[in-house]
Amino acid sequence: MARHPVRRAGVDDAEAVAGLLHDFNTEFDTPSPGKDVLAARLRHLLGEPHTFALLGGDPAQGLALVTLRPNVWYPGPVALLDEMYVAPAARGSGIGGAIMDRLIEECRAAGVSAIEINVDESDVDAQRFYERHGFAGVDPETGERAFYFSQEL
């Protein structure tokens, strides 16, 4: 399997990240505010220390968007993998694995204590992908399934 280049996105990459995020939502029939709105938000967020994105491929065909937050239960921040996407034509090529490896490497280097990911119940492909990379959908101590609850305000 060919190794794909993965790099940390800068503010100048906001349009590329926005395009992939918009494509992600469009592919799965999820509303998107549009590439321009996303790019404007990303120009701000990618300039802050609590948000980073990784782009995989050249040109970019995959991404991970991550936010960091402090947490009382850990000595270091907790990373939330907000979005991970690989364009359909690049799936199965190893680009997602290369992005995930780099994500874990970046988080370790930054002193991150845990990485959290929310996955839809029906998205068994994503669940298998994350499990292959060491993530669990159950509490390791109790074996209880983990759930994600949200409320938009």
CA 106 – CA 117 distance, rounded (Å): 16
Whether 82 and 29 have beta carbons less than 8 Å apart is answered as no
Cα 64 from chain centroid (whole Å)? 3
CA-to-CA distance for 81 and 5, rounded, in angstroms? Answer: 19
Q: Is the pLDDT of residue 7 over 60?
A: yes
- Reduced to 3 states (helix: H, G, I; strand: E, B; else coil), residue 24 is helix
Cα 110 from Cα 50, distance rounded (Å): 11
Bridge-partner residues for 31, per DSSP?
none
Strands (E), 1-76: 6-8, 51-56, 62-69
Grade residue 1 by pLDDT with cuts at 50, 70 and 90. very low
Average pLDDT over residues 28-47: 96
Give residue-wise pLDDT tens across range 69-119: 999 999 999 999 999 999 999 999 999 999 999 999 999 999 999 999 999
Angle between the N-to-C axes of helices 95-109 and 124-132, in degrees from 0 to 180, rounded to the nearest 10: 50
Distances (CA, A) of 37 to 5, 8, 33: 27, 21, 6
Q: Which domains does the chain have, with CATH numbers?
A: 6-132 (3.40.630.30)
Triad 110, 63, 26: Cα angle to 5°: 140
Given a cut of 90, whether residue 148 has pLDDT beyond it is: no
Query: Would you state the structure tokens that stand for residue 27, as one six-digit string?
Result: 């592919």
